[in-house]
Amino acid sequence: MADPSLPAADQVLDCTGMSCPLPVVKTSQAIKKIEPGQVLELLATDPGVEPDMKAWSGRTGNELLGISQDSGVFHVLIRRIR
Protein backbone atom coordinates (compact mmCIF):
# COMPACT_ATOMS: atom_id res chain seq x y z
CA MET A 1 0.00 0.00 0.00
CA ALA A 2 1.38 3.40 -0.96
CA ASP A 3 2.21 5.85 1.81
CA PRO A 4 -0.31 8.72 1.56
CA SER A 5 2.28 11.18 2.90
CA LEU A 6 4.49 10.61 -0.15
CA PRO A 7 3.86 12.29 -3.50
CA ALA A 8 2.46 10.35 -6.44
CA ALA A 9 5.01 9.30 -9.02
CA ASP A 10 5.16 11.20 -12.31
CA GLN A 11 6.74 8.15 -13.94
CA VAL A 12 7.09 4.49 -12.93
CA LEU A 13 10.17 2.44 -13.83
CA ASP A 14 9.63 -1.32 -13.58
CA CYS A 15 12.89 -3.16 -12.86
CA THR A 16 11.32 -6.22 -11.22
CA GLY A 17 13.34 -9.36 -11.91
CA MET A 18 16.52 -7.40 -12.65
CA SER A 19 19.56 -7.70 -10.44
CA CYS A 20 22.22 -5.18 -9.53
CA PRO A 21 23.44 -2.98 -11.18
CA LEU A 22 20.58 -2.82 -13.73
CA PRO A 23 18.01 -1.03 -11.50
CA VAL A 24 20.60 1.70 -10.74
CA VAL A 25 21.61 2.04 -14.41
CA LYS A 26 17.96 2.21 -15.54
CA THR A 27 17.15 4.73 -12.79
CA SER A 28 20.07 6.93 -13.91
CA GLN A 29 18.69 6.90 -17.46
CA ALA A 30 15.04 7.43 -16.46
CA ILE A 31 15.68 10.30 -14.04
CA LYS A 32 17.18 12.33 -16.90
CA LYS A 33 13.93 12.04 -18.85
CA ILE A 34 11.75 13.71 -16.20
CA GLU A 35 11.77 17.36 -15.17
CA PRO A 36 13.46 18.62 -11.99
CA GLY A 37 10.92 18.41 -9.17
CA GLN A 38 9.15 15.41 -10.67
CA VAL A 39 9.09 12.04 -8.93
CA LEU A 40 10.23 8.68 -10.31
CA GLU A 41 9.00 5.45 -8.75
CA LEU A 42 11.32 2.48 -9.17
CA LEU A 43 9.86 -1.01 -8.77
CA ALA A 44 12.48 -3.65 -8.03
CA THR A 45 12.73 -7.12 -6.52
CA ASP A 46 16.50 -7.12 -5.83
CA PRO A 47 17.02 -6.60 -2.06
CA GLY A 48 20.26 -4.77 -2.89
CA VAL A 49 18.18 -1.94 -4.35
CA GLU A 50 17.75 -0.29 -0.94
CA PRO A 51 21.45 0.34 -0.14
CA ASP A 52 22.16 0.92 -3.85
CA MET A 53 19.54 3.67 -4.18
CA LYS A 54 20.59 5.33 -0.91
CA ALA A 55 24.17 5.50 -2.21
CA TRP A 56 23.09 6.55 -5.72
CA SER A 57 20.82 9.36 -4.53
CA GLY A 58 23.53 10.66 -2.21
CA ARG A 59 26.07 10.56 -5.03
CA THR A 60 23.81 12.21 -7.62
CA GLY A 61 22.09 14.74 -5.36
CA ASN A 62 18.60 13.46 -6.16
CA GLU A 63 16.18 13.22 -3.23
CA LEU A 64 15.28 9.75 -1.97
CA LEU A 65 11.73 10.23 -0.70
CA GLY A 66 11.16 6.72 0.58
CA ILE A 67 11.54 3.00 0.11
CA SER A 68 8.74 0.60 0.95
CA GLN A 69 8.25 -3.08 0.29
CA ASP A 70 5.03 -4.77 -0.72
CA SER A 71 4.79 -8.49 -1.55
CA GLY A 72 8.51 -8.74 -2.30
CA VAL A 73 8.58 -5.64 -4.52
CA PHE A 74 10.49 -2.57 -3.42
CA HIS A 75 8.89 0.79 -4.23
CA VAL A 76 11.55 3.49 -4.35
CA LEU A 77 10.47 7.12 -4.75
CA ILE A 78 13.09 9.59 -5.99
CA ARG A 79 12.63 13.29 -6.75
CA ARG A 80 14.83 14.74 -9.47
CA ILE A 81 16.59 17.75 -8.02
CA ARG A 82 18.51 19.07 -11.01
- Going by C-alpha positions, the residue among 18, 10, 65, 8 that lies closest to residue 34 is 10
Per-residue DSSP letter, 9? P
Contact 31, 37 (CB under 8 A): no
2 in helix, strand or coil? coil
Q: What are phi and psi of 50, to 5 degrees?
A: -65, -60
Q: Which of 6, 18, 20, 22 is catalytic?
A: 20
Does the active-site annotation cover 15? Answer: no
Catalytic residues: 20
